[in-house]
Amino acid sequence: MDDQTIIGMVSIITAGMTIAIGSIGPAFGEARAVAEALRSIAQQPDEAGTITRTLFVSLAMIESTAIYCLVVAMIILFANPFWSEIS
């Protein structure tokens, strides 16, 4: 195998692992946040609006971690600095 093939193969594997591992934590975090919000709404139905608003803000913040992993994977795939090392 030549250098270009190896760099491409490692880049694809690394990007895949970045997305796979980087989405596990936010998925568990979002599931727990929703479960706790539903439990809170069941206990205090009068505060449902406040709990829901806070839930949506926290879900957006949790999801940003997965989005950062997606950005890193895209950089690895399309703007890999190691491509310029091959001459």
**Where do the domains of the chain lie, and which CATH numbers do they carry?**
3-79 (1.20.20.10)
Long-range contacts of 18-21 (CB under 8 A, 24+ apart): 18/69, 18/72, 18/73, 18/76, 19/69, 19/70, 19/73, 21/69
Q: 7-38: b or e for each residue (b if 16 or more CB lie within 10 Å)?
A: ebeebeeebeebbeebbeebeebbeebeeebe
Total-model pTM: 0.76
**Would you say 19 and 69 are in contact if contact means Cβ atoms under 8 Å apart?**
yes
| pLDDT for residue 33 | 95
What is the tens place of the pLDDT at every residue in 23-81? 999 999 999 999 999 999 999 999 999 999 999 999 999 999 999 999 999 999 998 88
